[in-house]
Amino acid sequence: MPKFITADLLFDSIQGEFKKNPVITIDGDKIFDVRFGNVEVPADAEIINLEGCTLLPGFIDAHDHLSLSPQLPNHPMLMNDPDPLLMLRGITNMKLDLSRGITTSRCLGDKNFIDLYLKNAVEEGIVEGPRIVTCTRGIKTTHAHGSVGTVFNGVEAIRLAVRENIARGADFVKLFITDTIRKTEYMPYFMSPEEIGVAVQEAHMAGKKVAAHSIGGDGLNHCIEQGVDVIEHAYFADEAQIDNMIKSDRWVVLTPSIFFNDNRWLTVPPAVAEGFRRNREEVLACHQAMLKAGIKFAVGTDATHGQLDEDVIFLTQIGATYAKALQGITINAAKVCEREDLIGSIESGKKADLVAVQGNVEARIEAIRDIRFVMKEGIVKVLDGKALFV
């Protein structure tokens, strides 16, 4: 028997606008129909009345790490813990994300294929969590940044790593190219153009995209020149690089919480937190420049689990329109995941991934914090603000 969902408003992520009085018909795990206004509903139908709410597509965290747990003390070092412990943390983090409306998570690397095991566990119904789109092992060199990365050095080792990742089921390939903060005027990079190039070549040969952790400097230039498809972070991209990314039609995944969500650094040594605070002014200016230039972007938490809404609110405070910020966690994030045919918008034929928040998001973006209802693939996961799973 189909379900019918009604609400006050619906965010149309394709058009980037809000529409009144939606009536959504759900059949199994898919959206069957979307209509507006007075719609006749069968007398014996199951109706989910979300009066006073805004309905949005299920949120997509476009940059996550499943087992990275910033809520725990000195979290980067915890990535050296045994795999079973990392998996348990990943299960906890996925449940939190799902309870906060994230129905799809794009994972940018976990250790030893943990992300694949978690992805399979979700798909088999063993654990609760978002749908996982993942790169498997993030590829880094010995001296590079990235506590969640796996070390490979040299062109042939990186070629083999990409092939192994794809053979194991990687949806895309992830490279760690630069650091995360600016420590000196020069921004070092840790993978040669030849190493970047071979990763891109191997991935593209298999029909896979490449994403790169790159904040700016020469490393970002090499990523653009070598054909990297998605730039993660771009915290210090200069005007020429922003223009080049736009002209070459690259996606950028913005992850502002690393610098601007103080909760992220409550559990690390003060000197580490200060390094991020010291860079804030420059990073803020870069975010505003990218937004003003109209760069294509999606939004991710970088494992600030359960707080994707805060990234959306922040972006609207520094220049993004409500629609663009929301598209960054819906249809544009779906495009980065290469799943826009299945998720990212509320349309007939797409997965029944829905989030309802209390209030009028069109009038007040902060309403996105008050999540009252979450549906993933036609199954209600959160009702009246309470998760229906443990």
Q: In this structure, are residues 257 and 211 in contact, taking their beta carbons and an 8 Å threshold? A: no
pLDDT number for residue 154: 98
* Stretches in the chain below the pLDDT threshold 70: none
Angle, CA 68 vertex, CA 177 and CA 257 arms, to 5°: 70
| pLDDT for position 272 | 83
pLDDT score recorded for residue 125:
97
Q: How far apart, in whole angstroms, are the C-alpha atoms of residue 174 and residue 199?
A: 9
Assign domain 59-336 to a CATH class: alpha beta
CA distance 361 to 123: 31
Q: Distance between CA atoms of 243 and 258, rounded to whole angstroms?
A: 24
Specify the pLDDT at position 83: 96
- Residues 340, 154: Cα–Cα separation, whole Å: 35
Query: 313-342 b/e with 16+ CB inside 10 Å = b?
Result: bbbbeeebebbbbbbbbbbbbbbbbbbbeb
pLDDT digits (tens, 9 = 90+) for 300-320: 999 999 999 999 999 999 999
0.85 exceeded by the pTM?
yes
Class for the domain spanning 3-57+344-387: mainly beta
CA–CA gap between residue 177 and residue 170 (Å, rounded): 19
Domain locations along the chain: 3-57+344-387, 59-336
Instruction: Give the pLDDT of residue 1.
Output: 80
Q: Show the DSSP H helices in the chain as ranges.
A: 75-78, 83-99, 114-123, 155-168, 193-205, 217-226, 239-247, 257-260, 270-278, 280-293, 308-317, 322-327, 331-336
Burial class of residue 236 (count of CB atoms within 10 Å of its CB; 0-12, 13-18, 19+): buried
* pLDDT at res. 63: 98
Cα 372 from Cα 99, distance rounded (Å): 10
What is the number of alpha carbons within 13 Å of residue 51 lying toward its C-beta? 2
Q: For residues 118 and 280, what is the distance between their CA atoms, to the nearest angstrom?
A: 34
Count of C-beta atoms within a 10 Å radius of residue 283: 22
Domains 3-57+344-387 and 59-336 share a fold: no
* Rounded CA separation 140/306 (Å): 27
Summarised one tens digit per residue, pLDDT across range 114-168 is 999 999 999 999 999 999 999 999 999 999 987 899 999 999 999 999 999 999 9
Q: How many CA atoms lie within 13 A of 171 on its CB side?
A: 16
- Which pLDDT score is estimated for 147? 86
**Bridge partners for 373 per DSSP:** 356, 383
Instruction: Answer whether 33's CB lies under 8 Å from 3's CB.
Output: no
Quickly list DSSP for 212-225. EEE-SHHHHHHHHH
Report whether 113 contacts 168 (CB < 8 A): yes
Assign 125 to helix, strand or coil: coil
Angstrom distance (rounded) from CA 282 to CA 265: 19
Output DSSP code: residue 58.
P
